[in-house]
Amino acid sequence: MDILYQVFIDPFVQMVELPDFFLQVLWEGFVSGVLYALIALGFVLIFKASGVFNFAQGIMVVFAALSLVGLYALGLPAYVALIATVGIMGILAYTVERTIFHHLVNQPDIILLMATIGLTYFLVGFGEFVFGGDPKVMITEELGLPTGSTAFDVLGGLVILQHIDIAAAVIAIIMVACLAVFFNKTRIGRALRAVADDHQAALSVGISLDQIWMIVWFAAGIVALATGIMWGARSDVSFALEIIAFKALPVLILGGFTSIPGAIVGGLIIGIGEKLGEIYWGPLVGGGIESWLAYVIALVFLLFRPQGLFGEKIIERV
Amino acid sequence: MSVMEAGTPAAGIRGAAATSAETAARETLLSVENITLSFGGVHAIRNVSFEIAKGEIRAIIGPNGAGKTSMLNVINGFYHPQEGLISFRGQERRRMKPYEAANQGIARTFQNVALFRGMTTLDNIMAGRTLKMHRGFFWQCLHWGPALKEEVEHRHKVEEIIDFLEIQAIRKTPVGRLPYGLQKRVELARALAMEPDLLLLDEPMAGMNLEEKEDMSRFILDVNQQLGTTIALIEHDIGVVMDLSDRVVVLDHGEKIADGMPADVQANKAVIEAYLGVEH
């Protein structure tokens, strides 16, 4: 009975007894959720327009962040470096489209997936060759992002909010709103979904695959840059960041691979769930559950709703 | 030709675009000359030439593997022939590009139904209007002002097509959920949304029951007569071909073996041999 008490009652008692601490945990969870959502967003963009899980999204985050830091180190002012990095992501999108995807029209999805894996390895090697392998520091202050923190008196205690986290949340929300409108309301958005469904049919109505793919890879590059800045500000900028891409996987399973709001809600559920789990239930098994809890949540979800919370309904006529 | 004659009361609606088969024969909309297409050592099409006159329904028939679909793919630019010329509206080219073909007024449907399965009927048909919508990116993102007006205008046009093909009831249904016959009809609707001059139909009646075939035949005739659209049609049902088409070209093993009026083709010895096999 003791174990049941510890699992089902004790954590909630703790939450009620120390509400300020609970709020702090929620906030931390919210912030990491937003950041997961940002990564997931990059995946969703490319998945929507080509039906492919873009393995290279993680390395694109690293690549964008390293370019930014590298250009700044060359002596460019921070904002110029930022704009130049946007340009680099544009060039990357163009090159990827011209050299890889242009030649893979009408190929099965698995071929495209393999191509993105290849691209990942190329970018890792190329990135190390250009920027070197040592970790670098993100130019947070130079970009005008707020630092420091504010403490709020609530519920008889202190809740501390890092300014950079607030900025991350605001930027993520703006980005998501823009992308959601873009995808759901515009002709180009409709064309993107059309391309993901059927290459041949899209071509036959005059949709240019080259143009569409360039647009999504560029958009994914911009999202990667934003993600790189935000994550880079919290840790440092190194190739280890690539791994966070896999954190996006449970988020995508939860939210649905094709849904922008899904990426957000999925990100928040995973982020908050992870933190709450770690703090309140983690001690029962000696802690450290944060790293795998997300995957368990995703797995349970797969059993009941394989298309995710907001994914397109899986339609199969047999 | 009985069906064509039965359709003549519609001639008034066809207006200036309407032409009888004889006058149509003079103005060529599309011609392919000496097209040769091969994949490695396999010759899909060998030295085939024919032309499609403005306003006619031109059938392309032949046994399986004769190169009919390859021919359509050459016409709308999915395949690039090794030899030959394609001229559309008098403009000659070595090869067509899909975008170019769509932009110049060639629309098509596919043998195995290529729809955007996750999207609704309405969105599928709206996708057919892609090339007709011009408002800039900025306005579109705002979804307001000129872009909204444009969207509404196109929506009207799409509603006309929906009425025309009698698919009002499935407007908001994701097409993946529709029965096959209706999917074929949505595909036709999407092609019509492009307001094409030339419509390529790849086995529009394959897998349909008699009633569905009759409906589809009626739609094809209506498109031809009321909208004045020229149609190239691949079809296996010889009865349908004889009823609908003005002229027929017959392919076998990638070569053209006959070309002419339906009745003449039907009586042609080479055609009978290709379909039934030769007596040895």
ipTM metric:
0.78
Q: Is A86 exposed, middle or buried (0-12, 13-18, 19+ CB in 10 A)?
A: middle
At A316, phi and psi to the nearest 5?
Answer: -140, 120
- pLDDT attached to residue A155: 72
Q: In this structure, what DSSP letter does residue A279 have? A: I
For residue B200, the SS3 value is: strand
Q: How confident is the model at residue B247 (pLDDT cuts 50, 70, 90)?
A: very high
Pairing mode of beta strands B230-234, B57-61? parallel
Q: Which strands sit side by side in the sheet containing B91-93, from one edge to the other?
A: B42-53, B28-39, B83-88, B91-93
At B89, phi and psi to the nearest 5?
Answer: 50, 45
* Chain B residues near residue A186 by CB distance under 8 angstroms: 137, 140-141, 143, 147
Residues B240 and B234: their CA atoms lie apart, in Å, by: 11
How far off is chain B from A187, nearest CA to CA, in Å?
7
* Tens digits of residue pLDDT in B122-136: 989 988 888 877 665
* Tens digits of residue pLDDT in A211-231: 888 888 998 899 899 989 988
Average pLDDT, chain A: 85
* Tens digits of residue pLDDT in A127-164: 899 988 888 888 888 888 888 888 887 777 788 888 88
Q: In this structure, what DSSP letter does residue B174 have? A: B
- Nearest CA to B236 out of B5, B65, B3, B31 is that of B65
Query: Is the separation of the CB atoms in B43 and B216 below 8 Å?
Result: no
Give the dihedral sign, CA B248/B250/B256/B259: negative
How far off is chain B from A314, nearest CA to CA, in Å?
8
Surface of A (172-191) touching B: CB under 8 A: 178, 181-182, 185-188, 190-191
Is pLDDT of A94 > 90?
Answer: yes
Q: Which residues contact A268 (CB under 8 A, 6 or more apart)?
A: A29, A30, A33, A34, A37
- pLDDT attached to residue A200: 86
Q: How is residue B176 written in tokens?
A: 């993946």
Query: Is the separation of the CB atoms in B147 and A190 below 8 Å?
Result: no
Whole-structure pTM value: 0.76
Give the dihedral sign, CA A279/A280/A283/A285: negative
Interchain contact, B176 vs A317, CB within 8 Å: yes
- Nearest CA to A187 out of B137, B225, B35 is that of B137
Q: How confident is the model at residue B73 (pLDDT cuts 50, 70, 90)?
A: very high
Domains and CATH numbers, chain B: 2-105+196-276 (3.40.50.300), 117-190 (no CATH)
Residues B199 and B233: their CA atoms lie apart, in Å, by: 8
- pLDDT attached to residue B184: 92
**Rounded mean pLDDT, B83-112:** 89
Q: How far is CA A158 from CA A15, A26, A149, in A?
A: 15, 13, 12
- pLDDT attached to residue A119: 93
| Alpha helical stretches, state H, B35-76 | 68-75
- Select the residue of A188, A196, A315 nearest B137 (Cβ to Cβ): A188
**Rounded mean pLDDT, B249-265:** 91
Is pLDDT of B277 > 90?
Answer: no
Q: How confident is the model at residue B61 (pLDDT cuts 50, 70, 90)?
A: very high
Is pLDDT of A1 > 80?
Answer: no
- Select the residue of A178, A187, A208 nearest B133 (Cβ to Cβ): A187
For residue A188, the SS3 value is: helix
* Chain A residues near residue B123 by CB distance under 8 angstroms: 190, 193
* Chain B residues near residue A102 by CB distance under 8 angstroms: none
Is pLDDT of A101 > 70?
Answer: yes
Residues B233 and B75: their CA atoms lie apart, in Å, by: 13
Residues A115 and A110: their CA atoms lie apart, in Å, by: 9
* Tens digits of residue pLDDT in A244-257: 777 888 898 888 88
Query: Is the separation of the CB atoms in B110 and B119 below 8 Å?
Result: no
Q: Is B66 exposed, middle or buried (0-12, 13-18, 19+ CB in 10 A)?
A: buried
Task: Number of A to B CB contacts under 8 A, please give it.
Answer: 97
- pLDDT attached to residue B11: 38
Q: Can you give the residue ranges of every domain in chain A?
A: 29-241
Q: How confident is the model at residue B6 (pLDDT cuts 50, 70, 90)?
A: very low
Q: How far is CA A257 from CA A252, A264, A266, B143, in A?
A: 5, 11, 10, 25
